Amino acid sequence: MSSKKWIKLFFSIVIVSFILSPVLYFKDMEWKLLNDFDNSIVFFSDSIMKASPSCEKNKEGIDDILRGKNIHKNIININHSAYSPIIYSAFIKNIKKSELIIIPINMRSFSEEWIYNPQYQFYDKRILSEIINLDFHYLQTQLNKIFDTSNKYNSMKILRNSNNIGTIHELQKNTINIDFYCNDKKQKELIKYKKELIKKFEYHYMYDLSINNKMFTYISDIIDYSIKTNIKLLFYITPMNYALGEHLIGDRFKNKLNKNINILVEFLKVNKVDFMDLSHILEHKNFTDTQHVCGHVNHVGRKNIANYLHKYIDNLISKNTI
């Protein structure tokens, strides 16, 4: 592309962004919630916060259970399927005042499936946030949106232990259409799908995590902003179905997951932020969407997570730090 065309493209992006931003502004309810000064606690999450199986009567989300603890703090929840520090790092800059921000970290979000997925970048929401906050990084975000294609993503090869387990497109076709949780008679059939489930666990969790993973950049941005604005953070690592992973794969699964979690934990320690590792707190029976290997949990699981969060918040209140 010639330099003249690049210049035209650049200014076109700038003009269109500023024209559209007021329209997006009034439609974006998340921005309005985050800009509310009454938000004592802002609770971000992916689908784990609210997801419940079709057969479960009690649909309370983690946030709902936490509100029921009578902690006398206003809790605003911002949750959506596939949310991660990618979008939290943009949203947090819309928060001008808050006593505490709770941020879950799903270990699956470090995988190629998530970190490189164009749909999981939430470009439009990030661009809106950057424009509102006069952050000219939005120009780069706009360009990334233009050149971040699904074809490139789908053709990416996934390596595990130096072995090619397939392209993302091939792995996404590895589906299991059985609800093992709600149809408890089907639990005995899990072993029939051992091959498919192993590949899902490998794809979602058994990557080689390094500090160079782009997700750490987004987490760092969140920490930097919290320091700048004196907003308290609590990170927590979401529960994973360790029991099933170890049953299907053995020590190889346990060792890889422990290594990856230790890298994240060390990063959080070095950055001196509060965190909880809840990765091991639940049993296999608490995980609902086994066929997807995604970390969704039942009401007992959501209640356990809420209990850990409540204990932390209650401790802050007793110390008069929030």
Q: What are the structural domain ranges in the chain?
A: 35-116+156-318
Calculate mean pLDDT across residues 24-53: 79
> What type of residue sits at position 220?
S
What percentage of the chain has pLDDT greater than the value 70?
89
The per-residue pLDDT for range 44-68, each reduced to its tens digit, is 999 999 999 999 999 999 999 999 9
Whether the pLDDT of residue 23 is over 50: the answer is no
Calculate mean pLDDT across residues 249-257: 97
Looking at 103-107, 240-244, 303-307, 315-319, which range is the least confident one?
A: 315-319
- Yes or no: domain 35-116+156-318 corresponds to CATH 3.40.50.1110: yes
Whether the pLDDT of residue 9 is over 70: the answer is no
Are 105 and 264 spatial neighbours (Cβ–Cβ below 8 Å)?
Answer: yes
Closest CA to 166 of 192, 120, 200: 200
Residues recorded for the chain: 322
Taking the C-alpha atoms of residue 111 and residue 153, their distance in angstroms, rounded to an integer, is 13
Whether the pLDDT of residue 285 is over 50: the answer is yes
Tokens of 212: 């160079």
Question: What's the DSSP call for residue 149?
Answer: -
pLDDT band at residue 8 under the 50/70/90 scheme: low
The per-residue pLDDT for range 180-224, each reduced to its tens digit, is 999 987 888 888 999 999 999 999 999 999 999 999 999 999 999
